[in-house]
Chains A and B, each alone.
Chain A
Amino acid sequence: MIEIRWHGRGGQGAFTAAKILGAASLIDNKFSLAFPSFGPERRGAPIQAFNKIDTQAIINRSEIKACDYLIFLDDSLFSFDYLNDLKDDGIALINTATPEKFRDFSQIQTIDANLIALNIIKKPLSNTAMLGALASISDDVSLSSLQQASNQYLSATHAAKNQLILQESYDHFKEVY
C-alpha cells in the first residue's frame, strides 16, 4: 500500500489535491482513500491531508504512520524531523523557491510549484503542480488519470489552465531526471 501525507495551509488546496489523486487512482483501476486531517479548519493554518492507494480494497482506516511520499505545498511547513516519518525508500516532495537548502538530502525532491502556477494562473496555488510532480517521480499514479480526475474537481474555467500546470510540472521533473 502506498501512503501519502500532504502538508499545506488552509486554502492552499491540499485536500483537493488528495481527492484528485484518489479519483485518479480509481481511473487507474486501483483503490484509494483520501481524507483530511480531521477537525476544525482555518485559512492559513497548517493542515494535513492523506491518501492510501492500493491494488486491493483498503479497509484499514487508522492514521498513516510511515509515508511513501510527504508532499509540502509550502516549504515554511517543512522541518527535517519529518524525514523520520518516511519509509526507507520514501520521498519528501517540497514546493520551494530555494532548492539549495535541500540539495544534500537524497530523500528530498524539490520543485518551484508556485512559479509554475504564477506563470499560468497568476496565483501561487501549488496543489496541481505538486500532483504533476508526483506523477513524474512516482509510478503510482499516471499523468493522464490526474488530468481526467482534475476536471472532476476543478471548475471548467480553471480546468484548462490546470491541465497546463500538470503537464509543465510533470515535464519539469522529466528533464531533471
Chain B
Amino acid sequence: MTKAFLSGNDAFAEGVRLARPQVISIYPITPQTTVVERISEMVEDSSLKSELIHVESEHSALSCAIGASAMGARTFTATSSQGLLYMAECLHYASGGRFPIVMMNANRSTALPWNIYGDQRDSLSQLDCGWIQVYVEDAQESLDMALQSYHIAENPLVSTPVMVNLDGFVLTHTYETVEIPSQTDADRFLPPFQTENKMSLDNPKNLAFSVGPDNNMEFKYLQHKAILGSKRIIEETDAKFAEIFGRSYGGLTQGYRLDDADYILITLGSITGLCREVVDELRERGEKVGLLKLRFLRPFPSDDLVAALGSAKAVGVLEKDISFGYEGTVYTNVNSVIAKNGLRLETYNFIAGLGGRDISRENITAIFRHLQTGGQHVNFIGLGMTIDD
C-alpha cells in the first residue's frame, strides 16, 4: 500500500490498473479525458498489460468492449455526458447480452445549452438501460469501486455491466490523498475473469441473438432478477473488500447519524461530504437530522430506504437532475418506495448543481430548514425563485 496525491480520475485509473482488464477501448471527452490519458500512459510503460484500442467514437468504444467481453476478456471503457448518450444504443446491448463490462462515467451536464461542468443528468437519464449504477463520493471510493465493480459485475449470478459515476470536475479533477493497494492484495480480492458467456471453439454457442415474443419476456425477467439479486453480491463484495483492505462503504447505501433522526436528507455523489458537516452542525444544536447516501441507484436500495426512513417525519432528496415536466428522477424512485411500504412522512425534492452550479453550506442548511418547516415539494436550489414564480 502506498499513499499518493491523486485526482478522482487518476485514482480511478489506479483502480483499473489493479483490476488488470485485458481490453480497454477509449475515446476522450471532458471531464473524463485524464482517466484515459493516465491509462494510456500505464499501457505505454507496461505497468498495465492490456490491449488498448483508441476508437473513433463512444458508440464504438462500448461496441468494442462488448466484442471483447464476448471473447471472455475483462474490459474497461469510460465516458461522459454526450458520449454516454451517443453510446445509449450499446448500453442495452451490453446489459441484455449480460457482458460484465465496467465503465467509468464522469457526470457532466447534457446539451443544450452546451456545458462541460458536472451534474448527474447524463447517467440518471440512462437508469433504465439495465446497468448497475454506482455513485462515488471521493477519490478513494473511486479507486475502490473500480476494483469492487468487476467483482460485482463478473459474479456469474449477476453477469451485468456496472457504470461507476464520478461527479465531473468536483471529483474527477480534485486532487487528494489516496491509498493505493498493492497488486498482491488486489489480486487476492479480484481473481481473473472466467465466464461461460463467451465465444469458444471448445464450447460453441450463440451470443447476442434475436428472441421473438415467445421467449423475449423471459430474458427480460431473468435480467431483472439478476440485478435484484446483485444486492446480496454488492454487500458480500463490500464485506470481502473490508476484510482485505480495511475499508467498508456499507453496500447499497451509507447512513450518517440516522438514529432517532426526524429529518433525513438523501444524497448521491460528492456533495455528501458537505451535507455530513451540516448534519454535524445541526446535531450540535440538538436538531434531530441525519443523512442517507445512495451509493447504488440500480439496483435501487428499497429495503435500506424503508429501514432508514421508517420513523422519520420528513425526507429530502438532493439531486443534480431534473426530469423535465415532472421532478427529479431519484425523488420519483424514493417516493415509490415510500408509497409501496405505507410510510407516513413528507417528502421534498431539491434540484441543485445543474450545469455545475456550486452547492454551498448555506444551501444545505436551508434545505434542512425546509424539511423542518415544510413547503413546496419540488425546489430549485440556488436559483432564488420557485417553480410557481
A interface residues with partner B (beta carbon < 8 Å): 18-19, 22-23, 26, 31-36, 38-40, 58-63, 65, 149, 152
Contact = CB atoms under 8 A, between A and B. Distances in A.
Given A19-B175, A35-B174, A40-B116, 17 more contacts: A22-B175, A26-B177, A33-B176, A34-B175, A35-B169, A38-B117, A38-B118, A39-B116, A58-B273, A59-B273, A59-B274, A59-B277, A61-B170, A61-B270, A61-B271, A61-B274, A63-B360
Interface string B256-287: 00000000000000111110110000000000
A40 B356 CA distance: 13
B368 to A, nearest CB: 16
B174 A34 contact: yes
B177 A31 contact: yes
Given A22-B175, A32-B177, A61-B174, A38 B5 contact: no
A61 B175 contact: no
Nearest to B137: A59
Interface of B: 3, 5, 30-31, 116-118, 138, 168-171, 173-177, 270-274, 276-277, 356, 358-361
A62 B361 contact: yes
B366 to A, nearest CB: 14
Contacts of B3: 26
Nearest to A38: B169
A26 B6 CA distance: 11
A26 B273 contact: no
B176 A58 contact: yes
A22 B5 contact: yes
A35 B177 contact: no
A103 to B, nearest CB: 35
Contacts of A65: 360
B175 A38 contact: no
B274 A62 contact: yes
B176 A22 contact: yes
Contacts of A32: 5, 176-177
Contact of B359 (A18, A26, A62, A152): A62
Nearest to A24: B5
Contacts of A34: 5, 174-176
B273 A61 contact: yes
A34 B360 CA distance: 18
Contacts of B272: 59
A40 to B, nearest CB: 7
A38 B174 CA distance: 10
Nearest to A153: B5
Contacts of A62: 274, 358-361
A60 B273 contact: yes
Contacts of B359: 62
A59 B118 CA distance: 18
A32 B139 CA distance: 12
Nearest to B359: A62
A20 B23 CA distance: 33
Nearest to B272: A59
A40 B176 CA distance: 22
B5 A19 contact: yes
Contacts of A18: 175
A22 B7 CA distance: 11
A41 B158 CA distance: 42
A35 B169 CA distance: 8
Contacts of A22: 5, 175-176
A39 B274 CA distance: 22
A35 B175 contact: yes
B361 A35 contact: no
A38 B173 contact: yes
A22 B117 CA distance: 23
Contacts of B358: 62-63
A59 B171 CA distance: 11
A38 B277 CA distance: 23
Centre residue among B5, B30, B277 by max chain A CB count within 10 A: B5
A18 B174 CA distance: 11
B276 A59 contact: yes
Contacts of B138: 59
Contacts of A31: 176-177
A39 B30 CA distance: 9
Contacts of B174: 33-35, 61
Contact of A36 (B168, B171, B173, B271): B173
A60 B278 CA distance: 10
